[in-house]
Chains A and B, each alone.
Chain A
């Protein structure tokens, strides 16, 4: 953004590297899905077009193919911006954090919400490079705060952890109810 430029730029004016790749992938997936409309939807004999279960998936997919094709042509006509594969690698890099998130989600029923959140916050903070005592305390404090606010105060539905069963009798109920 150029603060000295008096013209308002609310709307984007240029394309970014990787857009052609995205356009191709989007169109490919759309065509693949549209090709399966015959066996993934049903046509009911004697019913009008508006009442057919096939109509709206077709509207959506046909639009995706039509506008996807036009977008691909339009993108292809613009001068190529270098850096397509670096951009694609960055997309793949995001999968690491998908894995972090899914491991966190899958560990909750086993570890319990409080321990899983604390482990997640501390380890991801460490992974991001914040290794000072202040950062780790902040991460632990944040994790505790989240659990306390959502689980203890608002009683948000999160399953209790299997680990809590190993706690002695009065504590296990307490942890299952509040953490």
Chain B
């Protein structure tokens, strides 16, 4: 009880409430703009929160992180274009429902399923907090190294059809992290005698380049798309009662989200894929999936919205991000002098609980906002794409320049912007680069610390958690190889 009161005390401030409102409403708006997304918004706003107190800055950015997927469902359902990439499956059943004249019902169900997924995941997170607090201190250097390695392996393996690209981009991230003066023997690595490279390549500069600038370049080089927005009239509360009909689907979908969110490197895509497949397999009308089946919307939205709170588990407990948004959130925590890891759970449990409560409050705020303002919110989809590109480019100056007033940073960010633009044009993933930078740096430090006490290779996995993590890595790779060989054999037998 004392802990809960202490957490509420942290949040009971006008600036935190304002940050929560701005973050949650801003996140929904950003999510509803096709081609922007939470990553761009967090990248831009992160440096702007430097001057704010940690809890204020974190609440605002957490709001954007947790609410963007709510907004992403709106263009997915109304114009068949997902607002954020993870709303892709919502288009399958949402858009056909819109074409049938059931846009309001589809939106209402999507909001309700997202709300259910978010709250379910936060409650799981709260229930798991004492367990995490007891397990987290059992993670030493070698366990964190192995958990980060597991994250990298899973990030690569979950990029189906793009495993080689994901692997080479993760390696690029690992390499980028090593550039500059290294911290133990103080030798230069890949600086080419340039002083501006000695301090290394800042993660935020890379993030801004790869996510914000690249998106601006992409929008500026595109032709404008005009969308015809269907009329959406009536109340949105109906979805909450209709969701009760699909409570099993919503619970299973949210559970997939929690599970996939907790495992580094897996994330929203896998969770909604599993949830959608499950819904299709167990449905009485599987033939209606992809043709406007409400079950498809519930499965997709409950699964994707339950991932962000669950993804905070490895981030807060171990300091290991599972995907690009949590990698950015890790940067947010570091910037605000909050160091995620076992110590955070041991020493600042009230702060951790305050973040969970903030996440819960933001879900309530977002659903209230959406139920009352969907028609106004729809207007953001009318902003022409090149005008949006101009807006992102203008915002990006704030993001990069305010870091350390360096023109070099701006030029580096522009370079990564072009690289990200090429990746996006080729439909290749950008997040492995960021995860390579974050996890690669973590692995280098932890391996160096761990090896001091390791005499033989077996010493590395002689503790229970280290052994479990090592087994999971081997199992993940073995499973992937077996599945790949089985699919090849199947293809050959069909041919």
- Also in contact, A40 and B387, with CB within 8 A (given A10-B269, A26-B168, A59-B174): no
- Partner of B393 from the list A57, A93, A124 (CB cut-off 8 Å) is A124
- Partner of A53 from the list B164, B189, B426 (CB cut-off 8 Å) is B189
Give the docked Cα–Cα distance between A64 and B436 (Å). Answer: 12
Q: Which residues of A contact B167 (CB under 8 A)?
A: 63, 67
- Partner of A50 from the list B182, B290, B447 (CB cut-off 8 Å) is B447
Residue of B nearest to A71 (CB): B164
Give the docked Cα–Cα distance between A11 and B428 (Å). Answer: 11
Q: For chain A residues 23-68, which have a beta carbon within 8 Å of chain B?
A: 26, 30, 33, 36, 40-42, 44, 47-48, 50-51, 53, 55-57, 59-64, 67-68
Q: Which residues of B contact A64 (CB under 8 A)?
A: 168, 171-172, 175
Give the docked Cα–Cα distance between A57 and B190 (Å). Answer: 9
Q: Which residues of B contact A172 (CB under 8 A)?
A: none
Contact A97 B422 (CB under 8 A): no
B287 at the interface (CB under 8 A from A): yes
Contact B401 A130 (CB under 8 A): no
The interface bits of chain B over 120-140 (1 if a CB of A lies within 8 angstroms of the residue's CB, else 0) are: 000000000000000000000
B425 at the interface (CB under 8 A from A): yes
Which of B84-92, B239-247, B330-338, B463-471 lies on the face that meets chain A?
Answer: B84-92
Contact A63 B168 (CB under 8 A): yes
Q: Which residues of B contact A74 (CB under 8 A)?
A: 164
Residues of chain A at interface, number, CB under 8 A: 79
Contact A3 B92 (CB under 8 A): yes
Give the docked Cα–Cα distance between A155 and B49 (Å). Answer: 10
- Also in contact, A53 and B185, with CB within 8 A (given A10-B269, A156-B47): yes
Q: Which residues of A contact B187 (CB under 8 A)?
A: 41-42, 44, 53
Residue of B nearest to A7 (CB): B290
Contact B422 A22 (CB under 8 A): yes
Q: Which residues of A contact B177 (CB under 8 A)?
A: 56, 60
Give the docked Cα–Cα distance between A101 and B191 (Å). Answer: 25
Interface core residue of B160, B397, B443 (most chain A CB under 10 Å): B397
B225 at the interface (CB under 8 A from A): no
- Give, as a whole number of angstroms, the nearest-CB distance from A131 to chain B: 12
Contact B426 A22 (CB under 8 A): yes
Which of B29-37, B214-222, B313-321, B478-486 lies on the face that meets chain A?
Answer: B214-222
A166 at the interface (CB under 8 A from B): no
By size class, the interface of chain B is: 35 or more
- Give, as a whole number of angstroms, the nearest-CB distance from A143 to chain B: 7
Residue of A nearest to B222 (CB): A90
Contact A10 B213 (CB under 8 A): no
- Give, as a whole number of angstroms, the nearest-CB distance from B160 to chain A: 4
Q: Which residues of A contact B189 (CB under 8 A)?
A: 40-42, 53, 57
B178 at the interface (CB under 8 A from A): yes
Which of B66-74, B346-354, B361-369, B404-412 lies on the face that meets chain A?
Answer: B404-412
Contact A128 B220 (CB under 8 A): yes
A162 at the interface (CB under 8 A from B): no
- Partner of A94 from the list B91, B217, B391, B402 (CB cut-off 8 Å) is B217
- Give, as a whole number of angstroms, the nearest-CB distance from A21 to chain B: 9
A170 at the interface (CB under 8 A from B): no
Interface core residue of A26, A30, A97, A154 (most chain B CB under 10 Å): A97
- Partner of A40 from the list B190, B402, B448 (CB cut-off 8 Å) is B190
Q: Which residues of B contact A30 (CB under 8 A)?
A: 168
Known: A18-B422, A64-B171, A146-B398. 20 other contacts (CB 8 A): A8-B92, A8-B277, A22-B422, A26-B168, A41-B190, A51-B448, A60-B175, A60-B176, A67-B168, A71-B164, A91-B421, A94-B220, A97-B220, A97-B221, A97-B389, A105-B401, A106-B407, A121-B390, A125-B387, A157-B51
- 9 pairs of A and B residues whose beta carbons are closest in the complex: A60-B175, A63-B171, A6-B290, A60-B174, A67-B168, A50-B451, A11-B160, A42-B187, A71-B164
22 A-B pairs, CB-CB below 8 angstroms?
A3-B290, A6-B92, A10-B272, A12-B427, A48-B451, A51-B185, A51-B451, A56-B440, A57-B175, A57-B178, A57-B190, A60-B175, A64-B175, A98-B414, A98-B417, A117-B394, A121-B394, A125-B390, A142-B394, A150-B48, A154-B52, A157-B402
Residues of A within 8 A of B (CB): 1, 3-13, 16, 18-19, 22, 26, 30, 33, 36, 40-42, 44, 47-48, 50-51, 53, 55-57, 59-64, 67-68, 70-71, 74, 87, 90-91, 93-95, 97-98, 100-102, 104-106, 108, 117, 120-121, 124-125, 128-130, 135, 138-139, 142-143, 146, 150, 154-159
